[in-house]
Chain A
């Protein structure tokens, strides 16, 4: 379990971020290191003034998918940002913002939630990814 799990988060909708948070927390609970690399709209969702907002769902969810997600939420499902925080509390989870995406959104690290540990380029991401799997969400 020593090889890290490397998740590239691109999508900024709540359903995909929820799936990413579940994968992150599950791996962290197993003691597996997790590297998250935040790009584009996923990075936008990690802005400190937006992280707890409603980020909508992927288009394929449709109205029926929306109802299913709302039902899970009403049943008390832990929101993705809180799941990420609990995963970080377990240790071994490193969250980095993609520097190109920071430029794209014209933001700096002060704009991001404290969950984000730093900013790095894609080369640093690959170096840290080592021989672990890379998953794009």
Chain B
């Protein structure tokens, strides 16, 4: 069941730093204010990066999950 109305998705699985953030910044540029962006990543450093990126840019980190079985992080960000 989808908990969020996702407007756009970024698949950054397999990408190393800083590409998950770069791809998300690109998606945020194209999104409308208030849109939810879902990001999938496998870079363990991305957890701190997404917190820092949202704090600096003003976008909101609405949710974050880790699928332990696959090592996949899922972030949901609300565009400023």
Chain A interface (Cβ < 8 Å from any Cβ of B): 1, 22, 25-26, 28-31, 72, 75-78, 83, 86-87, 89-91
Contact = CB atoms under 8 A, between A and B. Distances in A.
Classify the secondary structure of B's interface with A.
helix
Residue from the set B15, B16, B53 with the largest chain A CB neighbour count within 10 Å: B16
Given A29-B53, A30-B57, A31-B56, A76 B26 contact: no
B29 interface: yes
8 contacts: A22-B18, A28-B22, A29-B18, A72-B16, A77-B16, A78-B19, A86-B19, A86-B23
Contact of B25 (A29, A72, A83): A29
Interface of B: 14-19, 21-26, 29, 53, 56-57
A28 B21 CA distance: 10
A72 B14 CA distance: 11
Given A30-B57, A86-B22, A87-B22, 14 more contacts: A25-B21, A26-B17, A26-B18, A26-B22, A29-B21, A29-B24, A29-B53, A30-B56, A75-B14, A78-B19, A83-B19, A83-B22, A86-B26, A90-B29
Contacts of A87: 22
B40 to A, nearest CB: 15
